[in-house]
């Protein structure tokens, strides 16, 4: 496949028509996001792939086996090194229907995980977007003064998101906007615009676990939408995984309308993380046996896997009632650095074990 220059980007717009609700594509094609576009034929493209960071979009004809192989080589030899050079450790791939059946085979070396992906849109005129804050929370714009506030303890949570969709913090401040909520000296929620293009943008949003179910997502999103409308941006997108019930509930509460119910493929370049995340998906679905099997694979792949993998394996076995591996992995997690005694005490996975000698010994080790 061959890389297009920006002057030729318009050639592939028709190929991406079925994926055009994803604003990243149009932002790349207009040169507002510094992505890449590759095609099978520069003069008359029938297949195209574009990407920026961890997001890829694949469209056009997939019937030619040579083109399929060309995409696989592009993914392996060009995309992955470029993504890793930008400190990306994962990818999310959206594809038109022509490509969907062949992707699992083409990308078998990276074991892509298919997952439901939802896209919502909002035309926000005619609604009062005044944010309503619970007592004790302060609304702050994501701007230079926020970045300069040395009293905040977790500013990196915001700056990481700013840099995830823009090439730099300065680029975010020049082209995007957002708001966050501060509680004491900590940012506990944020909502930021992404891929601003003409009258459109998308929103990224997050709330700290300890501050959820207080209406913070609605408040911080309302402030961001209000800002968007004041700058003549009235077509706003919201993207989330189909199993993200909290995000879906927030989108509905804010009045977003579902416009695409499809699938995307995702994965992690580091094999141990990729395996462990598949365990997490099983755990979320209460398939604890499946989760334990994936965690076992991850831990046998890399004995220096992150501590959370060992902790999750312990919890999966605890849910299964398999005491020996549960406490074996729990002790290994503690030896690797897990020391959150309060989290252990309140974890629902371990409630049935509170009267056992093994539990007493674990608590003594954390005293």
Give the 3-state DSSP-derived string for 49-99, with helices as H, strands as E and coil as C.
Answer: EEEECCEEEEEECCCCHHHHHHHHHHHHHHHHHHHHHCCCCEEEEEECHHH
Rounding to the nearest 10 degrees, give the CA dihedral for residues 98, 100, 104, 107: 70
In the structure encoding, which two tokens stand for residue 175, read together?
């082209």
CA pair distance 6, 3, nearest whole angstrom: 10
Q: Is 291 within 8 Å of 279 (Cβ atoms)?
A: yes
pLDDT bin (cut points 50, 70, 90) of residue 296 is very high
Question: Tell me: the pLDDT tens digits for 335-347?
Answer: 999 999 999 999 9
Return phi, psi of residue 132, to 5°.
-115, 115
Backbone angles phi, psi at 232, to 5 degrees: 65, 30
Residue 302's pLDDT is 85
Please report, for residues 16, 41, 116, the alpha-carbon distance to residue 61 in angstroms, rounded to integers and kept in the order given.
Answer: 11, 12, 23
Per residue in 16-33, pLDDT (tens digit) is 999 999 999 999 999 999
In order of their start, the domains of the chain are 2-111 (3.40.630.110), 123-259 (3.40.630.30), 271-365 (1.25.40.10)
Q: What percent of the chain has pLDDT over 90?
A: 92
Helix, strand, or coil (residue 193)? strand
In whole angstroms, give the CA distance from residue 43 to residue 210.
54
In this predicted structure, what is the pLDDT of residue 303?
Answer: 81
Per-residue pLDDT tens for 116-160? 999 999 998 989 999 999 999 999 999 999 999 999 999 999 999
Separation CA 250–CA 168 (nearest Å): 28
**Mean pLDDT for the chain overall:** 95
d(CA 132, CA 109) in angstroms, rounded, equals 48
The dihedrals phi and psi of 30, each to the nearest 5 degrees, come to -85, 0
249-287 pLDDT tens trace: 999 999 999 999 999 999 999 999 999 999 999 999 999
How many other C-beta atoms can be found within 10 angstroms of the C-beta atom of residue 195?
A: 25
Give dist(CA 118, CA 242) in Å, integer. Answer: 6
Q: What is the widest separation between alpha-carbon atoms in the chain?
A: 73
């Amino acid at each position: 496949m061959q890389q297009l220059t920006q002057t030729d980007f318009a050639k592939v717009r028709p190929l991406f028509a079925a994926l055009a609700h994803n604003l990243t594509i149009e932002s790349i094609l207009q040169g507002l996001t510094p992505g890449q576009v590759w095609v099978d034929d520069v003069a008359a493209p029938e297949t195209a792939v574009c990407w920026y960071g961890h997001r890829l979009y694949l469209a056009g004809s997939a019937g030619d086996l040579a083109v399929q192989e060309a995409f696989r080589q592009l993914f392996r030899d060009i995309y992955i090194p470029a993504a890793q050079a930008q400190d990306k450790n994962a990818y999310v791939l959206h594809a038109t229907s022509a490509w969907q059946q062949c992707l699992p085979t083409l990308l078998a070396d990276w074991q892509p995980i298919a997952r439901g992906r939802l896209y919502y849109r909002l035309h926000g005129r005619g609604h009062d977007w005044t944010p309503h804050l619970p007592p004790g929370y302060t609304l702050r714009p994501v701007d230079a003064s926020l970045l300069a506030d040395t009293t905040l303890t977790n500013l990196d949570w915001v700056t990481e998101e700013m840099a995830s969709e823009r090439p730099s913090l300065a680029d975010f401040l020049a082209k995007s906007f957002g708001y966050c909520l501060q509680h004491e000296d900590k940012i506990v929620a944020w909502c930021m615009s992404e891929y601003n293009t003409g009258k459109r943008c998308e929103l990224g949003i997050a709330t700290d676990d300890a501050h959820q179910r207080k209406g913070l997502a609605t408040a911080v999103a309302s402030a961001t939408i209000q800002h968007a409308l004041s700058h003549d941006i009235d077509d706003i997108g919201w993207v989330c995984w189909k199993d993200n019930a909290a995000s879906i509930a927030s989108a509905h509460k804010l009045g977003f309308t579902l416009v695409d119910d499809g699938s995307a493929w995702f994965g992690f370049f580091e094999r141990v993380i990729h395996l462990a995340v598949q365990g997490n998906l099983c755990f979320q679905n209460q398939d604890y046996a499946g989760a334990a099997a994936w965690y076992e694979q991850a831990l046998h792949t890399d004995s220096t896997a992150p501590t959370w993998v060992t902790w999750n394996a312990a919890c999966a076995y605890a849910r299964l009632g398999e005491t020996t591996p549960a406490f074996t992995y729990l002790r290994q997690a503690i030896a690797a650095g897990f020391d959150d005694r309060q989290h252990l005490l309140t974890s629902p996975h371990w409630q049935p074990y509170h009267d056992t000698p093994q539990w007493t010994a674990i608590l003594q080790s954390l005293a």
